[in-house]
Amino acid sequence: MLDTLVLSRMQFAANISFHILFPTITIALGWILFFFKLRFDQTDNPVWMRAYRFWVKVFALTFALGVVSGITMSFQFGTNWPGFMETVGNIAGPLLGYEVLTAFFLEATFLGIMLFGINRVPSKIHTLSALIVAIGTTISAFWILALNSWMHTPAGYEMRDGVAHVTSWLEVIFNPSFPYRFTHMLLASGLTAAFFVAGLSAYRILQGDPKLAPRLALKTGLVLAAILAPVQAFVGDLHGLNTFEHQPQKIAAMEGVWETERGAPLLLFAIPDEAQRTNHFEIAIPKMASLILTHELDGEIRGLNEFEGNHPPVKPLFFGFRVMVGMGVLMLAVAWTGCYLLLRRRGELPVWMLKIVVAMTFSGWLATLSGWYVTEIGRQPWLVTGVLPTADAVTPLAPANVGFSLTMYLLVYVVLMSAYIHTLRVMARKSVKVEEFETEAPQAGGKLTNVPDATEEGAA
Amino acid sequence: MTMESMSFADWLPVIFIGLMGLAVLIYAVLDGYDLGVGILLPMDASDESQRDTMIASIGPFWDANETWLVLGVGLLLIAFPSAHSMVLMNLYIPTAIMLIGLIMRGVAFDFRAKAAVDHKLTWDRTFKIGSLLTSLTQGYMLGQYVMGFESSWSAQLFSALSAIGVTAAYSYIGAAWLILKTEGKLQRRAVHWTRLAGRAAFVGVVAVSVVNPLVNPGVFDRWFTFPLVMFALLVPMLCFLAFTANEILLRRLPKVDDRHCWIPFVNVLLVFLLCFTGLAFSFYPEIVPGKLDIWQAASATESLQFILVGAAIVVPTILAYTVFSYRVFRGKATELRYH
């Protein structure tokens, strides 16, 4: 029988995994939309406006899913993890509070103007709203990652009677792992959104869309991904070094290193065996892990056996890490090949390449989720490293209650996910058939499209 | 504790319960009207264009409206963590159901506009059911809160009554919002809805007001102690006045040139404000009735100070750009367009 702890962990994992999918898209998609709108303001080229109009609808849908799945999160702390707030509430509370105060209202309010206000405010104000929404989503990421990073590498606090009290807010917010994690996540969002935009645009082109807007969006997505992928590799490496310094047991599990050794090999593949504390079927590059982590061929990596009984489960970290890195390499390859082909063929991709890009539409989700699984499972058995074990924070509720809510959430999530993907496809197909003739600049009180109402796409 | 002997640290919980109260009140009004619009959604096949207009009237706002709930719960979490745990653990199942309701209506709103035409009706139903579920569970939770989380059958009965009362109140403000934001046939329909929902809400408010002091002796003493009773009775009297004024006015609406179309909404606003004042007056300074007061539940002073600095700057800013947004979308609701 599953106990409340396991069920609560499953529920939290389910909620946050489902939730993170949508902000991961919207954080960067907000900036991409601002870019589209800004380019339209600068160039008066209506193709930018058409690209904006399609993607703003996708943004609205994705954002709504992010909002509703996020509201669930704000209740989770009290319902399932009362020990978390009792012990570190003095730190977690204000950080979450600042997220609501500085980000949620900003994005939610200006989203209304961004989505529905283009005919009611001057174009400049509308572009400004798009910018504010993008800033809002980024600020939101800032606070939530500050808190999450603090749970990994707590700083700027002292314990009094078993309760954490703040000694320096600056140290709390800019704790050792925060700058790396924040940058890593923003770039992950950029890559996710880039492939999402490129993938859905490629789908439209494959469906026979002759218009320029999807081609422009495809190009934007691929170029963005081509730039961000190598930057992400670099930042990811820095993040890894930071983790190596502060959470060596996490790195040991990611790399499958059991005994402390100098000149540790990089395992391309293996099956870690926690019972026998060894790996099977290793395929390794000698000394590479030491080189990557210590920048020396015979640098020392502390093994899992040094942390016996106090390190995270090895398998999920080992495989999760490889899935994330594998996706990263694949993204880099696809983005660069795509850009190369775009250059060679003057903006048109061959059908086989379009199909590959479509297949990569949700690649960012896979990479982001596996990355988060590595870092979050890697913190176990702690909820806050060295301060609060996960098992001590859980609710005393009966398992049946948690089982009930978990089942409900899972059901709803399955329905929502299929509806979301289905609706994206419907939107893409609908947009293929819509004729657009946009010639004039938008004005307050005027219409943008200059076409009869009947042909306008999906007025909401 | 007298006012003079209170230090700044003692005042902080008072300030935060005030902020939280403000957030909850604004939430009840703002999400109240958009939940109400969802509850009132007519589901006949011939009503589709009216459904479009009704949903368009809340389109630019619902998202920010729901954020006030996050702020209210967030402030409870930040400032009174032990109360947050106590309340939410006692209300675990209704909270989960309410969240499902909120999820349903939030996504239905966006899906209905973008899904294939044959699914639109399904999403409209989802929107209506989600709104209803959210209102009912919120009302139920309010009832449970007032009854000190008792599970006796009388407490359950009271909570059920409160669930219906809150749903009626949300429908009341939702219908009044529609009078303000729509015209023609739909507006006349909204006038009718406002009258019905108003009467139901009136019964609900009276019932809750009578039962509350009877079951909570502390509440009774507070309301009926001289000389405060003179002031205290002003609240229900004004509330009655607002209900009556609406009842009379609604018989004459809509008027020529749409005069006075905004008055019902203001009157309902007044009802909400007064009911909220009544509840706050019943329980302050207790945050979990009979169990915990705000000083016992408050978190560390330095944390409250840190967040207060931000709140003092940000909350007025939020109010300012909320007003800006309502100004941008003032006037009658028009079809929502993303361009």
Q: Is the pLDDT of residue B310 over 50?
A: yes
Domain hosting residue B60, numbered range: 12-328
Cβ atoms of A10 and A124 closer than 8 Å = no
CB contact under 8 Å between A426 and B107, yes or no, is no
CA distance to partner chain A, nearest, from residue B307 (Å): 6
Nearest CA in chain B to A401: B93
Q: Within the 269-308 window of chain B, which residues sit less than 8 Å (CB to CB) from chain A?
A: 299-300, 302-303, 306-307
B80 reaches A (C-beta below 8 A): no
Q: Which among B324, B182, B208 is positioned nearest to B264, based on CA atoms?
A: B182
Taking only the tens place, the pLDDT of each residue in B67-122 is: 888 888 888 888 888 888 888 888 888 988 998 898 888 888 878 877 655 678 88
**Matching residue, tokens 């750009």:** B321
Q: Would you say residue B96 lies in a domain?
A: yes
Number of domains in chain B: 1
Largest CA distance in chain B: 67
The residue with greater pLDDT, A89 or A32, is A32
Q: Is the pLDDT of residue A34 over 90?
A: yes
* B23 class by beta-carbon count within 10 Å (0-12 exposed, 13-18 middle, 19+ buried): buried
Round to whole Å and give the CA distance between B337 and A50.
Answer: 14
| Percent of chain A surpassing pLDDT 70 | 94
Q: Would you say residue B7 lies in a domain?
A: no
- The pLDDT score that the predictor gives to residue B226 is 66
Torsion of CA A43, A49, A50, A55, to 10 degrees: 130
Cβ atoms of B204 and B164 closer than 8 Å = yes
B22 reaches A (C-beta below 8 A): no
Q: Which pair of tokens denotes residue B7? A: 């230090």
| Percent of chain B surpassing pLDDT 90 | 14
CA distance to partner chain A, nearest, from residue B334 (Å): 10
Q: Which among B276, B235, B315 is positioned nearest to B15, based on CA atoms?
A: B315
- The pLDDT score that the predictor gives to residue A82 is 83
**B321 contacts in chain A (CB < 8 Å):** 105-106, 109-110
Cβ atoms of A327 and A366 closer than 8 Å = yes
CA distance to partner chain B, nearest, from residue A120 (Å): 6
Cβ atoms of A165 and A92 closer than 8 Å = no
Round to whole Å and give the CA distance between A114 and B160.
Answer: 40
Confidence tier at A222 by pLDDT (50, 70, 90): very high
Q: Could you say which of B84, B93, B299 has the minimum Cβ distance to residue A90?
A: B299
The DSSP output letter for A259 is S
Round to whole Å and give the CA distance between B131 and B174.
Answer: 11
Q: Would you say residue B3 lies in a domain?
A: no
Whole-number Cα distances in Å, B164 to B65, B160, B196: 22, 6, 14
- The pLDDT score that the predictor gives to residue A439 is 40
The secondary structure of B152-199 as a DSSP string is SHHHHHHHHHHHHHHHHHHHHHHHHHHHHH--HHHHHHHHHHHHHHHH
- The pLDDT score that the predictor gives to residue A438 is 42
Please name every residue paired with A166 in a beta bridge, in sequence order, or none if there are none: A157
CB contact under 8 Å between A404 and B93, yes or no, is yes
**B306 contacts in chain A (CB < 8 Å):** 94, 166, 169
What CATH number is associated with residue B36? 1.20.1630
Nearest CA in chain A to B57: A116
Q: Which pair of tokens denotes residue A114? A: 């961004």
Round to whole Å and give the CA distance between B37 and B31.
Answer: 10
Round to whole Å and give the CA distance between B299 and B58.
Answer: 36
Q: Is the pLDDT of residue A26 over 70?
A: yes
Q: Which pair of tokens denotes residue A367? A: 């990479």
Taking only the tens place, the pLDDT of each residue in A266-286 is: 888 888 888 888 888 888 888
Structural element, H or E, at residue A271 = strand A266-273
Q: Is the pLDDT of residue A442 over 50?
A: no
**A412 contacts in chain B (CB < 8 Å):** 100, 103-104
Q: Would you say residue B171 lies in a domain?
A: yes
How many residues can be counted in chain B?
A: 339
Q: Could you say which of B74, B79, B321 has the minimum Cβ distance to residue A74?
A: B74
**Matching residue, tokens 């109009």:** A53
Q: What angle do CA A249, A254, A255 make, to 5 degrees?
A: 100
**A170 contacts in chain B (CB < 8 Å):** none
CB contact under 8 Å between B336 and A101, yes or no, is no
Cβ neighbours of residue B333 under 8 Å, at least 6 residues apart?
A: B53, B54, B56, B57, B59, B181, B182
Q: What is the mean pLDDT of chain B?
A: 84
- The pLDDT score that the predictor gives to residue B214 is 81
Give the mean pLDDT of B265-273: 87
Confidence tier at A458 by pLDDT (50, 70, 90): very low
Q: Could you say which of A67, A106, A165 has the minimum Cβ distance to residue B300?
A: A165
Among A138-152, A247-261, B22-36, whose mean pLDDT is lowest?
A247-261
Q: What is the mean pLDDT of chain A?
A: 87
* ipTM of the predicted assembly exceeds 0.95: no
- The pLDDT score that the predictor gives to residue A326 is 94
Cβ neighbours of residue B327 under 8 Å, at least 6 residues apart?
A: none
- The pLDDT score that the predictor gives to residue B115 is 63
- The pLDDT score that the predictor gives to residue B290 is 76
Taking only the tens place, the pLDDT of each residue in A401-417 is: 888 889 989 998 999 99
Taking only the tens place, the pLDDT of each residue in B155-194 is: 888 899 889 999 999 999 999 999 888 888 888 888 889 8
Q: Would you say residue B277 lies in a domain?
A: yes
Round to whole Å and give the CA distance between B34 and B62.
Answer: 6
Indicate the residue type of A425.
Answer: R
Q: Could you say which of A57, A93, A105 has the minimum Cβ distance to residue B81?
A: A93
- The pLDDT score that the predictor gives to residue A448 is 41
Q: Which pair of tokens denotes residue A390? A: 């996960």
**A56 contacts in chain B (CB < 8 Å):** 338-339
Q: Would you say residue B337 lies in a domain?
A: no
The residue with greater pLDDT, A455 or A286, is A286
Give the mean pLDDT of B282-300: 81
Q: Is the pLDDT of residue A437 over 50?
A: no
CB contact under 8 Å between A90 and B307, yes or no, is no
Q: Within the 305-334 window of chain B, which residues sit less than 8 Å (CB to CB) from chain A?
A: 306-307, 310-311, 314-315, 318, 321-322, 325, 328-329
Q: Is the pLDDT of residue A440 over 60?
A: no
Round to whole Å and give the CA distance between B35 and A32.
Answer: 32
The DSSP output letter for A103 is I
Round to whole Å and give the CA distance between A117 and A329.
Answer: 41
Q: Which among B132, B268, B90, B119 is positioned nearest to B190, based on CA atoms?
A: B268
Start-end of H helices in A345-362? 351-359
Confidence tier at B337 by pLDDT (50, 70, 90): low
Round to whole Å and give the CA distance between B288 and B311.
Answer: 24
Nearest CA in chain A to B64: A108
The secondary structure of A371-397 as a DSSP string is HHHHHHHTTTTEEETTTEEHHHHS---
The residue with greater pLDDT, A447 or B331, is B331
Q: Which among A277, A26, A51 is positioned nearest to A140, based on CA atoms?
A: A26
- The pLDDT score that the predictor gives to residue A452 is 34
Q: Which residues of A331-368 are buried (b: 16+ CB within 10 A; e: fewer)?
A: bbebbebbbebbeeeeeebeeebbebbbebbebbbbbb
Give the mean pLDDT of B131-140: 94
Highest mean pLDDT out of A363-372, B47-56, B247-256: A363-372
Highest mean pLDDT out of A202-216, A217-231, A255-269: A217-231
